[in-house]
Structures are given as C-alpha cells and as structure tokens.
Amino acid sequence: MSIFIDNDTRLVVQGITGRDGSFHAKQMMEYGTHVVAGVTPGKGGQKFEGQVPIFNTVAEAVKEGGANTSVIYVPPAFAADAMFEAADAGIEFIVCITEGVPVLDMTRVRPYVMEKGARLLGPNCPGLLSAGKSKVGIIPGHITQPGPVGLVSKSGTLTYEVVYKLKGAGIGTTTCVGIGGDPINGTSFIDCLAAFEADPETKAIVMLGEIGGTDEQDAARYIKENVTKPVVGFIAGQTAPPGRRMGHAGAIISGSAGTAEEKIQAFRDNGIGVAQRPVDVVGLIQGAL
C-alpha cells in the first residue's frame, strides 16, 4: 500500500502554466500520476501539453475533472489564497510546494483547511511520492523504487539523498513524505508516523529531522507509545551555532530544546536508532528489516 496518495489520486495543478508548475506537471505525468486538470486564472479553456484541461478555478477542476488532490506552484503572495480556494472546492489533500509563505498567512490557512476536513502538506516542502504509484510535488521519480520503508522528512534534499542511498542498497520505499521545515505546516511527523503504522506494507520507518522546535522530541515520545515498527532517524544541523537560522525558517536553536543533541538524546531514550550521517541510515534500516 502507501499513505496519502496512490493510483486513485486525481491531481489538479494550481499554477500549471507557470515555470515551476509546467515543469513539474510534466514530471508528474511522466511518472504516471493522474493529472486531471490545471488551474490558471484567465487561461480556462486551454490545454496543457495538448491533453490536460486548464480551468480558471479549482471548483471547476473538481466538478469537471473529479480532482481530489491539489498541488500548488504559485508565488508566496498568492499561496494562501490558493490553499483557501482548494479547501473551499472540496479538495481532500492539498500539497503546497511554495517556499516563503508568510507565517501570519499560515496562522489563518491551517485551521481553515482543518475545519474543511482536508489534509495540508507543506508549505515549503517537496511533496510526496508513493513508489510506482503516484508522485505529487518535486521528488525525482528515478531515485526511488517500491519497497517496505516509509520515510518522513523535514528536508527535501535529505529525502533525496537517503532514498537514493536506500535504492542503491536494494531497499525501496512505500511512500516518501517531505513535510517541510516552516514553523507552521499542515502535516506533522506524528501524522505520518500514524499513517505508516497503519500501512501493512510499511515494515520500517525513517524519520529525518533537524534543529529547531520540539517536533522531533514529540514524535519520539509518540513512537515509544504508539509505533510497533522499527524507526531510525537522523538530525541535521549538528554543528549549527545557537541563534542562527540554518536553511528552513523553523531551523533555529532558541534554548536547549531545539539543539541537535537534545533531539538525538530524545531519539535514543525512546528506542529510535540514530544515524550519525545520512548514509548511515542504510545500515540501520538493513538491521531493522
């Protein structure tokens, strides 16, 4: 199986005629994702690549194309409106790739999407890929293969590295999920851990965290109490100086709770195998399977 997306995913691409949206729409289509519609206001009635109908609104894409999932490639200033629109249209799963969405916008978007009963992934994330079934976002399809490992990460780049190393060792994945590293996002480590625990084809889980906040510590406690499958982890930013943002907006140490050392200790205290380097995840997973 897989989590969140599969062969039944029917995708609408918001911003399909833009530079990023058009490039990645082609990549998703080539992977086999069912891209049923695109949305660019003012360009309704046109077709993308001669086959995907373009609509002016997400509501039209849902009505005419039966879209149940949306991926957003629009500038930061318009990302909140795009997420609001997708939720209003009845989209069940909203993936926002856009980087630089203001935190204040997310304080309004996240509760609104939840009230509508939808799931939000992101913003500022690479999306997700269920190997051999569907990909929504920017994770390269060729670095993955189907297998028994579920992966959840704050970092897109680390996701690519670890998945590629796993594939090189002959180990595939069920679903790779990049949740993003912004201070406020839609889907958490715990959400993904619960989904992987419920997925019968996922036999082991990789969790890639980073400095800043307490999400990793909360997830570690959740794992000890609720997850029966082996989990291995890695924390990025082990040499980062306190008080300096490193990469993601949420990756800043403010107090002891956000340090790599504290997170690594939380992993160890709760039975999670800890990799010292991303490549070490491979050996830990081999030992867990």
Interior/surface letters 25-58, b for 16+ CB within 10 angstroms, e for the rest = beebbebebbbbbbbbeeeeeeebeeebbbbeeb
Distance CA 136, CA 144 (A): 14
CA distances from 145 to 7, 26, 47, 170 (A): 15, 20, 31, 9
Distance CA 43, CA 39 (A): 8
Cis peptide before 123 (omega within 30 of 0): yes
Q: Which of 24, 34, 142, 248 is catalytic?
A: 248
Give the DSSP H/E element, type plus range, for residue 263. helix 260-269
Say if CB 124 and CB 181 are below 8 A apart: yes
**168: Cα separation from own chain's centroid:** 22
For residue 248, indicate whether it is catalytic: yes
Which residues are part of the catalytic machinery? Answer: 248
